[in-house]
Structure 1
């Protein structure tokens, strides 16, 4: 679960509940983050569960970050509604549902990241 997201172009910080207090996670997570195209550097604080990424705006895709965090188990593969029971892997429609969830999550992140940058510009101006 992502607890907090802060973004300015070239720098992205997320706080991950599952990272907090897990010292052994630093090395594998750091190397995975640096392997993402466009990532220049990454800083991890296990005491707060914070990950800060400095990236090249022309080469970085947030989808790659979310994919790595999902694969490593820091964020859920897809959001689950409290009313919806978890699906079994390979259940009918699961691939389609996963694709839809991925597309929706991508659009939400574009909207959130765009709004935070816009708010920052309005504050500065």
Structure 2
């Protein structure tokens, strides 16, 4: 099942076919999420095949919300590995940009020193 996850602390949005094709699972997930201490609002949108959860990031972690969605059958276990892969990609990208910038600075410094000599 393909999924899309957008997360900022305090708000998570998950798009999955489970939210439009399996309404009983989606309603169960919505109820279970609303029962969690720290969840402020849950909005299920079957037309967009998504669920949006507003929560208190001090009381809940993203993994707590994923667990409820997984247990409800609305989110596959692959989503966690997808999230890890995405974060690894972001870290690799930042490291690559950092290395390129460092090389550019070193080259600029050499050029500047060469101009003074």
TM class by smaller structure: 0.5 to 0.7
CA distance in 1, matches of 2:58, 2:85: 17
Q: Secondary structure at the match of 2:60?
A: coil
Cα offsets for 1:28-84 (capped at 9, x unmatched) = 2221111223211110001111110111121111122111111111122x44xxxxx
- Specify the structure having the higher radius of gyration (Cα): 2
Unaligned runs of 5+ in 2: 92-117
Question: Structure 1 residues 62, 44: closer, same or farther in 2, change over 3 A?
Answer: same
TM alignment of 1:19-98, pairs within 5 A:
19-76=19-76, 78-79=77-78
TM-score in terms of structure 1 length = 0.56
Cα RMSD, aligned residues only: 3.2
In the alignment of these two chains, the number of paired residues is 90
TM-score in terms of structure 2 length = 0.59
CA distance in 2, matches of 1:2, 1:61: 22
Q: Secondary structure at the match of 2:36?
A: coil
Write 1 or 2 for the structure with the bigger share of helix: 2
